Amino acid sequence: MRSRDAGGLVYSTEAGRTCPNCRQALAACRCAAAARQAILGDGRVRVSREKAGRGGKTVTVVRGLPLAADDLATLGKRLRSACGTGGTVRDGTLELQGDHAERVTAWLQAEGFEAKRSGG
Ligand SMILES: [Zn+2]
């Protein structure tokens, strides 16, 4: 049985494919679950009003929420419904269509986040 080649990749004759990150068999790997639970933001929650794309529409962007991806998605859904608008969650950032910066800031503060307006 060959355990390690020059490139550092692990092959195992009995375990099949392994995760390149933790070197566990894929069935035992918890990297994806851990990534979903990792806290994305630094807790300094900033709410800003920005233009999406070139000559784009106004969007309200929330950064720094100290939440894991699943919780961020859930919060985003509640926030969109509170504002009656659509939006997305991307790279730990919430984005809502339209200018809802004041409302979003107040809503987040009511939820216990130290949200602040930033930028325009
Ligand atoms: Zn892994």
What spacing in Å lies between the alpha carbon of 22 and ligand 1's midpoint?
A: 4
Task: List the helix and strand counts (H, then E) for the chain.
Answer: 3, 5
Q: At CA 69, angle to CA 76 and CA 52, rounded to 5?
A: 50
Q: Tokens 């070139």 map to which residue?
A: 54
Same domain, 91 and 103: yes
What spacing in Å lies between the alpha carbon of 12 and ligand 1's midpoint?
A: 15
62 within 8 A of 104, measured Cβ to Cβ:
yes
What spacing in Å lies between the alpha carbon of 48 and ligand 1's midpoint?
A: 36
Same domain, 57 and 95: yes
Same domain, 33 and 43: no
Per-residue pLDDT of 58-108, as tens digits, reads 999 999 999 998 899 999 999 999 999 999 998 889 999 999 999 999 999
Same domain, 21 and 46: no
At residue 110, what is the residue type?
Answer: A
The domain in which residue 16 lies consists of: 1-37
What spacing in Å lies between the alpha carbon of 32 and ligand 1's midpoint?
A: 7
Per-residue pLDDT of 11-44, as tens digits, reads 555 557 899 999 998 889 999 888 888 888 888 9
First-residue to last-residue Cα distance in the chain: 62
* pTM for this prediction: 0.73
What spacing in Å lies between the alpha carbon of 23 and ligand 1's midpoint?
A: 6
Return the CATH number at 47: 3.30.780.10
At residue 102, what is the residue type?
Answer: E
Percentages (nearest 5) of helix, strand, coil residues in the chain:
25, 25, 50
Split into its structural domains, the chain has a count of: 2
